[in-house]
């Protein structure tokens, strides 16, 4: 079950998706349709798996499924999440990190 919350950092609506490992992953409360792509962004499936994909319009032929964008990818206060999340957070771009540190 995904419980809607608000991000303590930026106030955006987020949902926590349980990962197979039992962690709760904060994600943007805006499900998106995606197509698997090795060089795409990280997308969290409803099962909590992290996959690489590109967002496509709902109903697009060949779409893989739907999922959520991890909130640390869009949150201006994402730097605060880095202690709580390991793994995918390491893949934040240097540009995103620099932006986060400026605040
Ligand atoms: Zn936020």
Cα(62) to centroid(ligand 1), Å: 31
pLDDT digits (tens, 9 = 90+) for 59-92: 999 999 999 999 988 898 877 665 554 444 445 5
Residue 78: the pLDDT is: 77
pTM above 0.85, yes or no: no
- List CB-based neighbours of ion ligand 1 within 5 Å: 7, 9-10, 12, 75
Q: Which residue has the higher pLDDT, 18 or 77?
A: 18
Q: What is the DSSP string of the chain?
A: -PEEEE-TTT--EEEEEE-TTSPEEEEES--EEEEEEEEEEEEE-TTS-EEEEEEE-TT-TT--EEEB-BGGGT-TTGGGGGGT--SGGGG--HHHHHHHHH-
User: Quick one: how far is CA 3 from the chain centroid?
Assistant: 15
* Sheet of strand 24-28: strand arrangement: 3-6, 13-18, 24-28
Cα(79) to centroid(ligand 1), Å: 10
Cα(90) to centroid(ligand 1), Å: 17
Cα(61) to centroid(ligand 1), Å: 32
pLDDT digits (tens, 9 = 90+) for 25-55: 999 999 999 999 999 999 999 999 999 999 9
């Amino acid at each position: 079950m995904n419980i809607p919350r608000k991000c303590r950092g930026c106030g955006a609506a987020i949902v926590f998706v349980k990962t197979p490992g039992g962690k709760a992953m904060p994600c943007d409360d805006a499900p998106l349709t995606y197509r698997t792509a090795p060089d795409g962004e990280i997308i969290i499936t409803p099962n909590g798996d992290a996959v690489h994909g590109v967002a496509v319009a709902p109903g697009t032929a060949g779409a893989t499924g739907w999922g959520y964008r991890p909130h640390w990818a869009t949150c201006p206060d994402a730097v605060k999440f880095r202690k709580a999340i390991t793994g995918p957070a390491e893949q934040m771009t240097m540009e995103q990190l620099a932006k986060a540190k400026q605040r």
